[in-house]
């Protein structure tokens, strides 16, 4: 039995989802894979910190956050008052799981955290798009230098294994184009508009359901999808691109009339992130596209995400699944752990 010590930066929804999965499935993973994952340290700027080098009490962590909103009185745990960097420097973790709130334009503070962890020869898993979209090449070079890995399955489509499909399973098939519904919030809004709601009503509904934030700009203007397009370009196509090189248009200019007109023609408006390789150059865009009914993305509704890889050897291969959620994104981290310790 190999014990793997995890240190968590941030203890929000995804971290709690990961905790729940390890609580429910940890024995099964140990039995089937010979791996015991221990959450040994947590640092969250609002909820506090916790440390037990033999593994924190998982049920106690979830109960504490549920009852107090913060990490307090976890059985057997010390509260060292670490911030993220202090935790990276002081805890004996094998893997740092980086789940902080991060600015998409700077990639901070998570890029700093990831860099520090890699330099200390700790594997890093992140579900943050910013550092990967902006700084993957540099981070990967640091990881290679120190003999550790970066797991990032959760940055695109949460635990739906779009990244593994693109970077591993279909990598030899000659991927020429990628098209995806990469943002669940906007797909939910467009699906609601297809059933007759106005944009404002659909957005309000998405906010009420917790799919959209109070300021929905990052989703509805296509910034979130663009970050995922940048990640796919770099990791799957090997072409690093800047945000500025991605043609980007959101869904705010689509009217109910546009949607109705499309419906009458058996077509569907979708916010599509696209990458096309031509003569070794990549063309990248995020924009509303009016898809024919038989397009593999046309019927993907609600918050569901989907991606189509168009390949030379295999033609189109499509993967459809959840793009968010605490257990779903938590499971992306599990996949990264299995991959690092395979």
Distance CA 157, CA 304 (A): 9
- The binding site for a second copy (CB under 8 A) comprises 21, 25, 28-29, 32, 159-161, 164-165, 169-174, 294, 296, 299, 301, 313-322, 327-328, 330-331, 334-335, 338
Q: How far is the CB of 191 from a second copy (least distance, A)?
A: 11
Give the span between the Cα atoms of 82 and 89, in whole angstroms. 10
| 80 or 321: CB nearest a second copy | 321
How far, in whole angstroms, is CA 206 from its chain's centroid? Answer: 19
Q: To the nearest whole angstrom, how small is the minimum distance from the Cβ of residue 310 to a second copy?
A: 11
Token digits for 203? 């957005």
CB of 93 or CB of 327, closer to a second copy? 327
Closest CA to 98 of 148, 132, 144, 64: 132
Nearer to a second copy, 92 or 172 (CB): 172
CA distance 23 to 27: 8
Query: Cβ contacts of residue 157 below 8 Å, gap of 6+?
Result: 163, 180, 182, 228, 305, 307, 319, 321, 322, 323
Q: Is 64 helix (H, G, I), strand (E, B) or coil?
A: helix
Nearer to a second copy, 30 or 204 (CB): 30
Dihedral sign for Cα 16, 134, 323, 334, please: negative
Alpha-carbon distances, residue 258 vs 191, 199, 244, 267, 287 (angstroms): 13, 11, 28, 10, 14
Q: How far is CA 46 from the centre of its chain?
A: 22
**135 vs 228 by CB, closer to a second copy:** 228
Phi-psi region for residue 302, left (φ > 0), alpha (ψ -120 to 50) or beta? left
Q: Minimum CB separation from a second copy for residue 161, in Å?
A: 4
- C-beta closer to a second copy: residue 285 or 310: 310
Burial of 153 (0-12, 13-18, 19+ CB in 10 A): buried
Residue 303 CA, distance from chain mean position: 14
Q: Is 228 labeled as catalytic in the residue annotation?
A: yes
Of 107, 98, 100, nearest to 243 (Cα)? 107
CB of 14 to a second copy, least distance (A): 13
| 122, 228, 239, 283: the active-site residue | 228
Q: Tell me how far, at minimum, the Cβ of 84 lies from a second copy, in Å.
A: 27
Output the smallest distance, CB 132 to a second copy, in A: 19
Residue 14, token pair as written in the block: 């995804």
Catalytic residues: 228
């Amino acid at each position: 039995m190999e014990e793997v010590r995890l240190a968590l930066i941030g203890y929000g929804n995804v971290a709690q989802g990961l905790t729940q999965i390890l609580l429910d499935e940890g024995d099964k993973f140990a039995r089937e894979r010979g791996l015991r994952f221990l959450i040994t340290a947590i640092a969250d700027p609002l909820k506090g910190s916790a440390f037990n080098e033999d593994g924190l009490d998982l049920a106690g962590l979830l109960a504490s956050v549920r009852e107090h909103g913060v990490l307090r009185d976890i059985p057997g745990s010390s509260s060292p008052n670490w911030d993220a960097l202090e935790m990276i420097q002081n805890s004996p973790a094998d893997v740092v799981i980086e789940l902080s709130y991060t600015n998409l334009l700077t990639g901070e503070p998570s890029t700093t955290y990831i860099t520090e962890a890699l330099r200390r020869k700790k594997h890093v898993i992140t579900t943050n798009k910013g550092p990967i979209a902006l700084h993957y090449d540099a981070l990967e070079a640091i990881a290679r230098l120190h003999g550790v890995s970066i797991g990032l399955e959760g940055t695109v489509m949460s635990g739906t294994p779009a990244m593994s499909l693109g970077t591993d399973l279909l990598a030899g098939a000659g991927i020429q184009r990628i098209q995806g519904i990469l943002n669940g919030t906007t797909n939910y809004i467009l699906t609601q508009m297809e059933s007759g709601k106005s944009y404002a009503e659909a957005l309000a509904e998405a906010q009420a359901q917790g799919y959209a934030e109070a300021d929905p700009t990052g989703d509805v203007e296509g910034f979130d999808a663009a970050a995922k397009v940048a990640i796919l370009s770099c990791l799957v196509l090997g072409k690093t691109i800047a945000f500025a090189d991605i043609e980007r248009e959101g869904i705010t200019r689509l009217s109910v009339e546009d949607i109705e007109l499309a419906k009458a023609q058996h077509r569907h408006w979708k916010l599509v992130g696209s990458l096309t390789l031509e003569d070794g150059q990549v063309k990248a865009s995020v924009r509303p596209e009016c898809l024919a009914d038989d397009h593999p993305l046309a019927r993907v509704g609600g918050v569901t995400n989907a991606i189509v890889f168009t390949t030379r050897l295999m033609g189109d291969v499509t993967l459809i699944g959840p793009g968010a959620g605490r257990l779903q994104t938590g499971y992306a981290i599990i996949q990264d752990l299995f991959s690092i310790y395979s």
